[in-house]
Chains A and B, each alone.
Chain A
Amino acid sequence: MAQNLVALAGNEAVAYAFKQARPHVGSAFPITPQTEMMHKFAEFVANGEVDTEMILVESEHSAMSAAIGSAAAGARTFTATSSAGFALMWEMVYVAASLRLPINMALVNRALSGNINIHCDHSDSMGGRDSGWIQVFCENAQESYDTALMNFRISEHMDVRLPAMTNYDGFIISHTEDALYLLDDDTAYDFIGPYQAKYALLDVENPITVGPLDLTDYYFEHKWSQMEAQKRVFPVAREVMSEFGELTGRSYDFFEEYRLDDADLVMVVLGSSAGTTKDVIDEYRDKGVKVGLLKLRLFRPFPVAEIVKVLAGRKAIAVLDRSASFGGFGGPVFTEIRSALYRQEQTPIHNWIYGLGGRDYDLKQVAEVIEKLQQIAAGEELQEVNLLGIRL
């Protein structure tokens, strides 16, 4: 399969993927660091490269509302946002998932205010972890492009019909020029396929009501159907990822295992931090330390069975969270992983909260975690929830 090697920033790469999906409608409001993604897409529309109706709205609440209206009408629909924009969408984010509308969103991860900060952390998307959307986190521009393409297939699959977020780190991925392979437009579109609406308001032959009052008698049953749809993401995602692997030679899974086979010590991270972590893991491997990485890609639905299979029996695990749960017991990824492993032989699992507000995640910090993991594996009782790269 011929692919074009190009240099693009993550925002441009994802804009290409969205263009190649040939969405009928896109609605968005600009916010740093998502803005260039929308600029690029608007340029495609202006140049006639894609026949998408762009709705430029006055706020993110309206962006998601317009996307819901469009998807309910029966159109392939996308939006994109970051941080406070996602927070402003909040009410409608839940509605999109509840109505089972397969809207695709680029969520360019940025810290939430306040104080105001434009840099990367995951507190925006973690706020939406219970909203019913599929959430996939990406390590670099290539993975963001590939994930955006695959997410259309997964979310629109008739067994799933759920909205999906392609999460990629603000600035670190969105604004960094990276080398990646693009499929040509037709190949990418053929992979995704034409949009099929399941129920469409514009289908006047089959009138429907969308979003009726749903009280004590049926609301609970409808929530069950969302839970079941999330479970069906697993087989569908597997199928889509394996087809994508055959097409492009790039294989993906729910998570990536890096030097994990014989690892006693395991770090778990999401997003671009995986790259830095891999470099330091290589250094420690050279010194004979058996350390590996589990880079989690699919966070919603959370692939609990697969994670337990891979993490059970290790000597010590460090889960890194790029968001805080104020007043909670550690960050969101930590609580999830630790809860998943509860029935297993007791492996110490510690949490490091790092990189809030775009604080650089550097090689020294990875080394610090690996050193601590060695002490924990040797039986030392260390603090369970920790902060990394902070002046105290």
Chain B
Amino acid sequence: MSLKKASELTEGGIITEAGNASEYKTGDWRTFVPEFVVENCIQCLFCWIYCPDSAIAVDLSGEKPEVTGIILEHCKGCGICAAECPPVKKGKAALVMVREAK
């Protein structure tokens, strides 16, 4: 997203376009990143529910919603998804937090 000039902004920092938070890329802050291992996933959607930043990609085209991976532009690497993922607790990691190479 290219940054606007001062003269192009609304006064007072008022945001007039609704629902534009998705344009705000927050993914460049993170140190760790979740890796999604589809074979271990039971499609419980806990990660999608718990992710504080809507960073879990879900395919809604089929009969049931299916997690397909991580939206890296928004994932902050907080690790909540991996901490809440039920297979992880049973030793079958569907989400693994790894240090991201920069």
B-contact bits for A80-106, CB 8 A (1 contact / 0 none): 000000000000000000111100000
Number of interface residues of A (CB under 8 A): 23
A224 pairs with B6, CB closer than 8 A: yes
Interface residues of B in 1-55 (CB under 8 A from A): 3-6, 9-16, 18
Closest to A222 in B: B13
Q: Which of B6, B11, B12 has the most CB of A within 10 A?
A: B12
Given the known inter-chain contacts A217-B3, A218-B3, please indicate yes or no for A225 contacting B18, CB distance below 8 A.
no
Asked if B16 contacts A206 (CB within 8 A), the reply is yes
Max chain A C-beta neighbours (<10 A), residue from B4, B5, B11 = B11
Among A100, A211, A217, the residue within 8 A (CB) of B11 is: A100
> Is residue A43 contacting chain B, with contact meaning CB distance below 8 A?
no
Interfacial chain B residues near A101, Cβ < 8 Å: 12
Given A217-B3, A218-B3, A209 and B9 touching (CB < 8 A)? no
CA A101 to CA B13, docked complex, whole Å? 12
Contact yes or no, B13 A212, CB < 8 A: yes
Q: How far is the CA of A161 from the CA of B14 in the complex (A)?
A: 13
Q: Of the candidates B5, B6, B9, B10, which one forms a contact with A199 in the assembled complex, judged by CB atoms under 8 Å apart? A: B10
Instruction: List, in ascending order, chain B residues with CB within 8 A of A217's CB.
Output: 3
Report B16 CB to chain A, min CB distance, Å: 5
A224 to B12, CA, bound (A): 10
Write the nearest CB–CB distance from B25 to chain A, whole angstroms: 11
Are B15 and A100 within 8 A (Cβ)?
Answer: no
Say whether A221 contacts B14, CB under 8 Å: no
Contact of A225 among B11, B15, B16 (CB under 8 A): B11
Is A126 in contact with chain B by the CB < 8 A criterion?
no
Report A-chain residues with C-beta under 8 Å of the C-beta of B3.
Answer: 217-218
Name the contact of B14 in the complex, choosing from A199, A220, A224, A229 (C-beta under 8 A): A199
A210 interface residue (CB < 8 Å to B): yes
Q: A217-B3, A221-B6, A224-B6 given as contacts; is B16 within 8 A of A211 (CB)?
A: no
Q: Closest approach, in angstroms, between the C-beta of A137 and any C-beta of chain B?
A: 26
Q: Please, how many angstroms separate the alpha-carbon atoms of A207 and B17 in the complex?
A: 7
Find the A residue at minimum CB distance from B16. A208
- Bound Cα distance from A222 to B12, whole angstroms: 6
Q: Does A214 count as interface, using CB distance less than 8 angstroms? A: yes
Q: A224-B6, A225-B6 are in contact. Are A218 and B13 (CB under 8 A)?
A: yes
Among residues of A, the one whose C-beta sits closest to the C-beta of B5 is A221
Could you tell me if A214 and B14 are in contact, using CB atoms closer than 8 angstroms? Answer: no
A229 partner, pick from B4, B5, B11, beta carbons under 8 A? B11
Within 8 A of B (CB), among A228-248: 229
Instruction: Please state if A211 and B18 are interface contacts (CB–CB under 8 Å).
Output: no
Contacts of A218 in B (CB 8 A): 3-4, 9, 13
B92 to chain A, nearest CB (A): 38
* Residue A198 is within 8 A (CB to CB) of chain B in the complex: yes
Asked whether, in the complex, the Cβ of A209 is within 8 Å of the Cβ of B14, the reply is yes
Shortest distance from the beta carbon of A158 to any chain B beta carbon, whole Å: 10
Could you tell me the distance between the alpha carbons of A189 and B68 in the complex, rounded to whole angstroms?
62
The chain B residue with its CB closest to the CB of A219 is B13
Given A224-B6, A225-B6, answer yes or no on A161-B11 (Cβ-Cβ < 8 Å). yes
With A218-B3, A221-B5 already in contact, the answer to whether A211 and B13 are too (CB < 8 A) is yes
For residue B19, which residue of chain A has the nearest CB?
Answer: A207
Distance of A207 Cα from B14 Cα, bound (Å): 10
In the complex, A378→B48 CA distance in Å?
Answer: 81
B6 to chain A, nearest CB (A): 4
Contact A212 B15, beta carbon cutoff 8 Å: yes
Expressed in whole angstroms, the Cα–Cα distance for A222 and B14 within the complex equals: 10
Contact at A214–B11, with CB atoms within 8 Å? no
Kindly list chain A residues whose C-beta atoms are within 8 Å of the C-beta of B13. Answer: 98-99, 211-212, 214, 218, 222
| Closest A residue to B11 using CB positions | A100
Report yes or no: B15 in contact with A221, Cβ–Cβ below 8 A. Answer: no
13 A-B residue pairs with Cβ-Cβ distance under 8 Å, sorted by A, are: A98-B12, A98-B13, A100-B14, A101-B12, A199-B10, A208-B14, A209-B14, A210-B12, A212-B15, A217-B3, A218-B3, A221-B6, A222-B12
Enumerate the 6 nearest inter-chain pairs by beta-carbon distance, A residue then B residue, closest first. A100-B12, A221-B6, A209-B15, A99-B12, A100-B11, A224-B6
Q: Residues on B close to A: CB < 8 A?
A: 3-6, 9-16, 18
